[in-house]
Structures are given as structure tokens and as C-alpha cells.
Amino acid sequence: MPPSDPDALEDLAYIRRAVERNRTGDGDPASWILWSVLVLVGFPLADLAPHSAGLYWLIAIPVGIAVTLWRGARLMRGRGKLLRRDLLVQGLLHWVGMLAAVAMLLSMVSMTPVSRGPAVMIIVALTYFLYGLHVSRRFLAFAAIVCAGAYGLHVLGAWAWTILGVVLASGFLLTAVLEIRRRPASDA
């Protein structure tokens, strides 16, 4: 079966198209909307009620991750796909690592309140970047937003958190809209 054989090339194209079809339409718009709401509430808290922001995220992040994972697994099962456990664990470890790094940073490194925000956002940006490399490419764009946000927190004064929150939440909402458009007809 030489590579120039048209039948062989058509067979490879057939398989490539099948793989691409299997990859599309796997997103969950509701989870993107959930995170959009969590960010829209949580980020302005850092400007309006800074003492409440820590407690808010301590609850919101684990709940958000748990709901996202539960919905994702249920949705994929309904769409005829059971994900490989090693891939699930690989994805989850990114977020666990992020939370561990933030916890260590806040508990072990002495920083002013003004420095804390950008430092945490740099860790979040790095996690989004690595998740984008290893799991889902769209997170690379969010990594860029959060990285720019970290810089914004560093140079801007008032309302920097709110601005970053609105930009990030808008990105999540846009992703939800794109996922709704790409959703398979069987989901309706």
C-alpha cells in the first residue's frame, strides 16, 4: 500500500475525519456559564469586600470543580463517550496543583496585600497555560487574559479586580455560546 495510492490516501482521510468528528461537540455550555457567574461575583468582591473574597473562593472553587466534573462525566456518558481515567486524572491534577501552589504561596511567603493578587494570578495563568498545552487548547487564550490581568493588577489601582473579572467572565460566556452552537442535535 504505497502512500501515493489514492485508495490508501482516501482511507487515511476517512479515519482523520472520524477522529475529528469524535473530538467536536464535547463541551458543556452550562459549566462555562457557571464559572462565568462565579468569576463575576468573586472578582469584584476583591475590590468591594476584600475580607470576604478569600472565604468565597475557598467554597466556590471546590464546588465549581465538583459540579463541572460531575456534569462533564454525565454529559459525555449521554453522548456515548467514557473518558480514559488517566486523562481525567491528568486534567484534575492541574487544578489540584494550582490550589496547592496558591495555598503554599499564601501561607509561606510574606507579601503585602497588593502583591498577593498578582502573585496568585500568575499561578492561575501558568495553570491555564499548562492545561491549554496538555488538555484543551482554548485555555491558552484564558492564560493570556489572566496573565494580562496579573499585570493589570500590578499597575492599575481601583477596580482592577472587577475589570479582570468582567473580561474573564465575558470570555467564559463567549465560550458557552460557541459550545451551544457546536452542540450535537441529540443534546436538544
Partner 1 sequence: MNSTRSSLSQLDDLLQHRVRLGVCVLLGGESQLSFARLKDALQETDGNLGSHLAKLEQAGYLVVRKEFQERRPVTWYRLSGTGSARLHRHLAALDAIIHAARSARPGSG
- Interacting residues with partner 1 (CB under 8 A): 1-4, 11, 14-15, 17-19, 21-22, 77-85, 184
> Measured from the CB atom, is 22 or 52 closer to partner 1?
22
Contact assessment for residue 76 and residue 83, using Cβ atoms and an 8 Å cutoff: yes
Contact assessment for residue 143 and residue 128, using Cβ atoms and an 8 Å cutoff: yes
Q: CB 42 → partner 1: shortest distance, Å? A: 34
Query: How many beta carbons lie within 10 A of that of residue 156, not counting itself?
Result: 13
Classified as helix, coil or strand, 3 is coil
> Measured from the CB atom, is 62 or 184 closer to partner 1?
184
> Measured from the CB atom, is 51 or 86 closer to partner 1?
86
Q: CB 30 → partner 1: shortest distance, Å? A: 19
Q: CB 69 → partner 1: shortest distance, Å? A: 15
> Measured from the CB atom, is 104 or 135 closer to partner 1?
135
List of residues 6+ apart from 39 with CB closer than 8 A:
165, 168, 169, 172
Cα separation, 122 vs 56, whole angstroms: 20
Q: CB 130 → partner 1: shortest distance, Å? A: 21
List of residues 6+ apart from 178 with CB closer than 8 A:
27
Q: CB 74 → partner 1: shortest distance, Å? A: 11
Contact assessment for residue 146 and residue 167, using Cβ atoms and an 8 Å cutoff: no
> Measured from the CB atom, is 51 or 85 closer to partner 1?
85
Query: How many beta carbons lie within 10 A of that of residue 8, not counting itself?
Result: 12
- How many CA atoms lie less than 13 Å away from 116 in the CB half-sphere? 16
